[in-house]
Structure 1
């Protein structure tokens, strides 16, 4: 990599490296190292291993501060999604990381610059390199610069959420009892019924929801109840 390429990649990441060698190591695949030991004394697997841990911490910290009632299970599911090969390779492609990779001849000829596994590993290695060179805050900035939209999309999609379980856990911790769901209305034809459910804790109605099944209605009611509990913490 030329000095200009290092600066270009650093700019895409949003970080200027003090030790340019760390960025060079982050984009060096083991195939290049094995074929050119005189040009690369190391390759990116150690930085990738470190970057994976840094990435996980950044994602969980972001979720922890975003919503207090996100359970361990929800944070774990979203983190697992963000560190997937497909998500990381997309982030790598957004900054054209493949163009900067140092690959062995065989990997180049078999399309290594576009392989999702290689791109994802290199992306984690870059995060690890930023952490070593600039510390946690700069690494966090780099991760969120490239992945915050993905995290926010995962949160807004609600596919990872289990509001009923979260409400049950919250109710037991705070009040020592389980929430109680009550179906208060059923309307519509048999195959097109709409159910309305209310959820109560200690006799207080905290949520109400309607859906095509009792489960859907209960989930909506639980979500509203959790929101009210959270709002009561921060008046």
Structure 2
């Protein structure tokens, strides 16, 4: 495990003084529950702290942005920057899902790369980094992985609406297709794909079809932008 954590720290661009903090940040509740450990043994408390640190960092970033953004716009863009799919995407840049410590059942289901799981771990890592190295280290990390492409992140806020407008303007046909549905009734998981003119585009996921569609629309907008250079207005 120590070798794995060393590799992860290289990817993060930060080496922990207390590596146990990083291990704590990677410990999913399923693992601590399975081993009869108290709730605080999981990464949930670090996730709570990381969420607050992330919100402050992104707020400072938007406040200092030029040209100046008004309060209402900053609120909307910040929500896009710290939403689950955006954080999951940032986490995948460093393959964070490969290091999440799961209970045996969850490991068999391979949930380590689900948006909900990987984004929670990402926030927990931010919290652990803040405790270990202070605000500046956490800020440098967030700036590098989350705040580098504000325009793409901003697309998520109104992704379905923006995509529908694009589809209407270009006289295209849009369909959202559920390609995976699993989990118990109280904890459903959906994976949804956007289909444009019978061509498969982006895939999104979430605890509801609506969340999956939003993610699929977001990934589709990014794909369209990459393929065509089309610039979507986000604020």
The interval holding the TM-score normalised by the smaller chain is 0.5 to 0.7
In structure 2, distance between residues paired with 1:69 and 1:90: 27
In structure 2, distance between residues paired with 1:77 and 1:11: 33
Which piece of structure 1 moves more, 38-47 or 104-113?
A: 38-47
Q: Partner of 1:50 in structure 2?
A: 49
Q: Partner of 1:22 in structure 2?
A: 21
TM-score by length of 2: 0.62
Structure 1 unmatched runs, 5+: 161-222, 224-235
How far is 1:69 from its partner? Answer: 2.5
Q: Deviations over 1:38-96 (max 9, x none)?
A: 79971100000111111111111111112262111111111101111111111111111
How far is 1:35 from its partner? Answer: 1.3
In structure 2, distance between residues paired with 1:37 and 1:138: 33
In structure 2, distance between residues paired with 1:151 and 1:27: 26
**Contact 1:13 / 1:145 at 8 angstroms: preserved in 2?**
no
Q: Deviations over 1:93-136 (max 9, x none)?
A: 11111110100011111221121100010000000000000000
Number of aligned residues: 159
In structure 2, distance between residues paired with 1:97 and 1:150: 19
Q: Partner of 2:126 in structure 1?
A: 127
**Aligned runs of 1:30-69 on 2, under 5 Å?**
30-37=29-36, 42-67=41-66, 69=68
CA gap 1:41/1:84 in 2 versus in 1, 3 angstroms: closer
In structure 2, distance between residues paired with 1:56 and 1:92: 16
- Local SS of the residue matching 2:64: helix
CA gap 1:112/1:154 in 2 versus in 1, 3 angstroms: closer
Q: Partner of 2:96 in structure 1?
A: 97
TM-score by length of 1: 0.62
**Aligned runs of 1:1-235 on 2, under 5 Å?**
2-37=1-36, 42-67=41-66, 69-154=68-153
How far is 1:37 from its partner? Answer: 4.0
Structure 2 unmatched runs, 5+: 159-234
In structure 1, distance between residues paired with 2:49 and 2:103: 23
- Local SS of the residue matching 1:114: coil
**Contact 2:47 / 2:124 at 8 angstroms: preserved in 1?**
yes
In structure 2, distance between residues paired with 1:21 and 1:37: 19
- Local SS of the residue matching 1:149: coil
Give the structure with higher Rg (CA). 1
Q: Deviations over 1:129-185 (max 9, x none)?
A: 000000000000111111122325447x7x88xxxxxxxxxxxxxxxxxxxxxxxxx
- Local SS of the residue matching 2:15: coil
